[in-house]
A and B are shown apart, each in its own frame.
Chain A
Amino acid sequence: MNSQFPINQNFTKESLKKQFRLSEFLAEKIISSVAFLSITIIVLIFVFVFKESLPIFNFGKSDAAKTEITTDSKPESYGSTPTEELKPETYGSEPTEELKPETYGSEPVTQEDLKPETYGSEPVTQEDLKPETYGDVKAEPIVETTSNETPEVVSENNEGADKTWSTFFTTEWVPVSEHPRFGLIGLLIGTLKVTIIAMLIAGPLAILAALYTSCFASKRVKELIKPIIEMLAAFPSVVIGFFALMVLATFFQDIFGYDSRLNAFIGGVAMALAAIPIIYTISEDALSAVPKTYTEASLALGASKWQTAFFVTLPAATPGIFAALLLGVGRVFGETMIALMATGNAALLSANPFESVRTFAATIGAEMAETVFGETHYSVLFFIGSLLFIFSFALNAIAEFYVKGRLIKKFQGK
C-alpha cells in the first residue's frame, strides 16, 4: 500500500504531462489571439482612416522643420483672422442662396457647373482670400529672407494645408474648384437637421411601441409583434432610401407642396425607419429587464397597469432607453445610402426642414469615388470619416458605460 501510493501519484503526474499536447496548446493560443482581432480592427480602423486624413494636419510639422520662425507665426495663422473675417460675411450673404438651384441635382456634375457661378457671385469672399493666395505665390522666396513680415505667408508653404483648415469653419462646401473650400458648417447643420427630424419621429414611436410590447401586450401578441418590428431592421438601407426617393418624396410633396422634392424631412422620415428597430429592440430589452418586484409592488399598491407602466417601469428603464436613443442617433448620423438618395444633397443653410441638405456621410459616399489619392479633397473626406468614427465610438462608449453603471446601481446595488 505504502509503496503503491507514491508510484500511483507519479504515474498520474506523468500522464498529465503526456497529455499536454502541442497542437492543443497552439489551438488555444490561436483562439485567444483571434479574439483580439476585433480590438485590432477597431484600432486599425481609427489609425488608417485617420492616417489618410493626415495631410491636412501637415502644416504644423513641416513648417517647424523648415524654419524656427514658423513656430512663432503658426499660432497666428492657425486661429487665424481670415477665418473669422470670412465667417460673418459668407454667412448672411446671397451666394449660398443663389447656389440653391444649382446644387439641387446630382453632385459630381454640379460642382463643375458651379465653378464659374461661385466665382462671380462672391467677390467679397475672394478679396478676403486674396492676401492668402497672393502669399502663396511669393511664399517660398519670402520665407527664407523675411518671414517676420508676413506671418500668414509661411503656412502657405505646403499647398493649402492651412488654407484647408481656415475653410473648415466656413459654410461653403465647394471641393472641386480652383480655390476649393471645405466648409464643414453647412454639412454639420445638414446632418444635425436630418438627425433631429429622424429622432423626433423614431424616438417616440419606437419607445411607445416598446412600452406596449413589454407592458401591455399579452404573451402571444408580444411574440408576434417583436419579430415583425425587428424585421424592419432587415430592410437594407438602400431599399429604404429607394422607397423614400420613389414613393415618400412624391407622397409628401403632394401633401405639403414644397419646392424641393428631396429634402431634410424626407431624409429624416426615411432614416427614422432605419432607426426605429434599433431604438425599439434596445428599449424593449431595457423595459423587460426591469425587475418584476417593481411592477408587482406598484400593482399591489393599487396602481393600474398603465400607471405602473408609465410611472414605474418607464422611469426604471430610463438608462436603457437613453442608450437606445444614443445608438439611434449614431445610426442616423452615419447613415449613408438613405442620405445619398433622399436628402437632395445640397449643402444649404436654412432652418427650413423642407430644404435640401447634405450630410457628412453622404458627402463621403458621393465624392470619394471622384477624388484622387493624396489630394486635399481626399484627405478632407477621410477627416470627415474620422470625425464620424470618433462620434459613433463616443456614443457607443457613453451608452455602454453610463447605462451599465446606472443599471447596476439601480437594480443590484439598491
Chain B
Amino acid sequence: METTINETENQFFSNKKKGVDIKGKFVVGITQVAVLLIIAILFIILGIIVYEGREKFSWEFITSFPTDGMTKGGIFPALIGTFILVVVMSIAAVPFGTITAIYLTEYAKENSKIAAAVRFSVRTLAVVPSIIFGLFGLGFFIQFMGTGMDKAFNGGELHWGQPNILWASLTMSLLTLPVIIVSVEEALKTIPRELREASLALGATKWQTIKNVVFPGSISGIMTGTILAVSRGAGEVAPILFTGAAYYLATLPKSLSDQFMNLGYHIYIMSTQSSDVEKTMPIQFATTLVLLILTLSLNLVAVIIRSRIRRKAK
C-alpha cells in the first residue's frame, strides 16, 4: 500500500513538474526577453550613435569653433559652455545639497514632520518636469531677481534681467539638488552609529562630531552626488531653453552675464531648426556622441564609487 501511495505521489509530482516546467519556462522566458530587449535597445542606441558619429569625431572636432553657419567645424564653444554651466551649477548645488543631507541624517528626528516635509519636497523636486524649472528660471531668476538687480544696481539698465549663464546654472542647480541630497544621504547612512557615539562619548559636541567624523565620511558621497549631478546637468536641455542657451555665439562667454552655447541645445537646434539637416548629420551624430560619452562615463565613475561605498558599508 505504502509503495503505491509513494508511486502515485511520485507520479503526481513528476506530472506536475512536467506541466509546470513548460509554462514556467515560458513565463520566465518572457521576463528574460523583456530584460534582453531593454539591454538590446540600449546597446543599439549606443552602437548607432557611435557608428554614425565616429567619422566626424576627432580631437579637432572637439577643439574648433563651428564655421560656415554651423554646417562645418567643431563644437568647442558648446563644450566650454556646458563646462561652465556644470561648474557654476555644482558650486551652487553641492553645498546646499550636502547641508540638507546632513540635516536629514544628523539633526532631523525620526518622526519629525519637518524632516518628512523636507524629504517630500526633495522627492517632488526630483519628479517635477524639467521644463517647469525652465519656466521658474524665467519667472524667478530672470524676471524677478534679474530685473530687481538691474533696478537696484544698474538704474534699470538691462543687464541681469535677461537670459544668461548664471541664471541657467542656478536653474540647473535646482534640478540637480535632489541628486546630490540623495547621494550624500546614502553615504552618511553608511557611517556606523558607533563612530558617532564614540566621538560624543569622548566629549565632542554634536557639531564637532559632524565636522570631524561625519563630514569626512561623506566626502565620497558628495563626490558621487556631484558627478551624477554634473552628468544630469550636462544632458538636460529643457531648463536652459529660455534661461541662457544661445543658438550660436562667435566668442566664448566672458562673464556670468553672457549667454552660452550648450551641447544638448546644440543637438536640438541642429537637428530641428538647422537650414540643412541632412548635410550636418555627421556633425549632429558626433555631437551626440560627445554628449553621450560625457554623461555615460561620468555615470560609470559614480556607479563605481557608489558600489565601493556600499561594499565598505557591508
Interface residues of B in 283-306 (CB under 8 A from A): 284-285, 288, 291-292, 295-296, 298-300, 303
The answer to whether A42 touches B264 (Cβ under 8 A) is no
A247 to chain B minimum Cβ distance, whole angstroms, is 6
A17 to chain B minimum Cβ distance, whole angstroms, is 13
Chain B residues, Cβ within 8 Å of A273: 41, 45
Q: Is B35 interfacial (CB-CB < 8 Å)?
A: yes
* A64-106 interface code vs B (CB 8 A; 1 in, 0 out): 0000000000000000000000000000000000000000001
Given contacts A234-B296, A392-B128, A48 and B284 within 8 Å (CB-CB): no
Q: Is A385 interfacial (CB-CB < 8 Å)?
A: yes
Given contacts A32-B103, A229-B38, A392-B127, A368 and B24 within 8 Å (CB-CB): no
User: What residue in chain A is nearest B26 (Cβ atoms)?
Assistant: A306
Q: Is A380 interfacial (CB-CB < 8 Å)?
A: no
Q: Is B91 interfacial (CB-CB < 8 Å)?
A: no
The answer to whether A52 touches B34 (Cβ under 8 A) is no
- Distance between Cα atoms of A382 and B143 in the complex (Å): 13
Count the B residues whose beta carbon is within 8 Å of the partner chain — how many? 86
The answer to whether A385 touches B132 (Cβ under 8 A) is yes
User: What residue in chain A is nearest B95 (Cβ atoms)?
Assistant: A34
- Distance between Cα atoms of A364 and B236 in the complex (Å): 16
- Distance between Cα atoms of A42 and B292 in the complex (Å): 30
- Distance between Cα atoms of A240 and B98 in the complex (Å): 31
- Distance between Cα atoms of A304 and B45 in the complex (Å): 37
Q: Is A276 interfacial (CB-CB < 8 Å)?
A: yes
Q: Is A402 interfacial (CB-CB < 8 Å)?
A: no
Interface residues of A in 227-253 (CB under 8 A from B): 227-229, 231-232, 234-243, 245-247
Given contacts A212-B34, A236-B235, A336-B129, A38 and B45 within 8 Å (CB-CB): no
- Distance between Cα atoms of A307 and B25 in the complex (Å): 11
- Distance between Cα atoms of A138 and B108 in the complex (Å): 62
- Dominant SS among interface residues on chain B: helix
A287 to chain B minimum Cβ distance, whole angstroms, is 11
Q: Is A330 interfacial (CB-CB < 8 Å)?
A: yes
The answer to whether A236 touches B234 (Cβ under 8 A) is yes
Q: Is B219 interfacial (CB-CB < 8 Å)?
A: no
* B95-126 interface code vs A (CB 8 A; 1 in, 0 out): 01001101110011000001001101111110
Q: Is B89 interfacial (CB-CB < 8 Å)?
A: no
Q: Is A45 interfacial (CB-CB < 8 Å)?
A: yes
User: What residue in chain A is nearest B43 (Cβ atoms)?
Assistant: A228
The answer to whether B38 touches A205 (Cβ under 8 A) is yes
- Distance between Cα atoms of A34 and B107 in the complex (Å): 12
The answer to whether B271 touches A341 (Cβ under 8 A) is yes
Q: Is A13 interfacial (CB-CB < 8 Å)?
A: no
The answer to whether B143 touches A52 (Cβ under 8 A) is yes
B250 to chain A minimum Cβ distance, whole angstroms, is 20
Q: Is A411 interfacial (CB-CB < 8 Å)?
A: no
Q: Is A321 interfacial (CB-CB < 8 Å)?
A: no
Q: Is A198 interfacial (CB-CB < 8 Å)?
A: no
* A273-313 interface code vs B (CB 8 A; 1 in, 0 out): 10010001000000000000000000000001111001000
Partner among A32, A38, A48, A341 whose Cβ is within 8 Å of the Cβ of B121? A38
- Distance between Cα atoms of A336 and B133 in the complex (Å): 12
The answer to whether A365 touches B107 (Cβ under 8 A) is no
The answer to whether A37 touches B143 (Cβ under 8 A) is no
Binds B, one of A23-31, A122-130, A154-162, A349-357: A23-31
Q: Is A168 interfacial (CB-CB < 8 Å)?
A: no
Interface residues of A in 339-366 (CB under 8 A from B): 340-341, 361, 364-365
The answer to whether B103 touches A34 (Cβ under 8 A) is yes
Chain B residues, Cβ within 8 Å of A188: none
User: What residue in chain A is nearest B239 (Cβ atoms)?
Assistant: A336
The answer to whether A238 touches B124 (Cβ under 8 A) is no
Q: Is B176 interfacial (CB-CB < 8 Å)?
A: no
The answer to whether B131 touches A336 (Cβ under 8 A) is yes
The answer to whether B131 touches A208 (Cβ under 8 A) is no
- Distance between Cα atoms of A227 and B273 in the complex (Å): 35
The answer to whether B135 touches A368 (Cβ under 8 A) is yes
* A46-58 interface code vs B (CB 8 A; 1 in, 0 out): 0011011000000
Q: Is A315 interfacial (CB-CB < 8 Å)?
A: no
Shortest 8 CB-CB distances between A and B: which pairs? A334-B129, A236-B235, A212-B31, A35-B103, A208-B34, A234-B299, A336-B238, A48-B139
Contact residues of A with B, CB < 8 Å?
19, 24, 27-28, 30-32, 34-39, 41-42, 44-45, 48-49, 51-52, 106, 204-206, 208-209, 211-213, 215-217, 225, 227-229, 231-232, 234-243, 245-247, 273, 276, 280, 304-307, 310, 327, 330-331, 333-337, 340-341, 361, 364-365, 368-369, 373, 381-382, 385, 388-389, 392-393, 395-397, 400
**Can you list 15 residue pairs at the A/B interface with Cβ under 8 Å?**
A35-B118, A41-B177, A52-B139, A204-B34, A206-B38, A216-B32, A229-B39, A243-B45, A304-B24, A305-B24, A327-B127, A334-B131, A334-B132, A365-B241, A388-B131
Q: 14 additional contacts, CB 8 Å, given A237-B236, A237-B238, A382-B139?
A: A39-B121, A49-B135, A52-B143, A212-B34, A229-B35, A229-B38, A235-B42, A243-B48, A334-B129, A364-B135, A368-B135, A382-B135, A388-B132, A400-B123
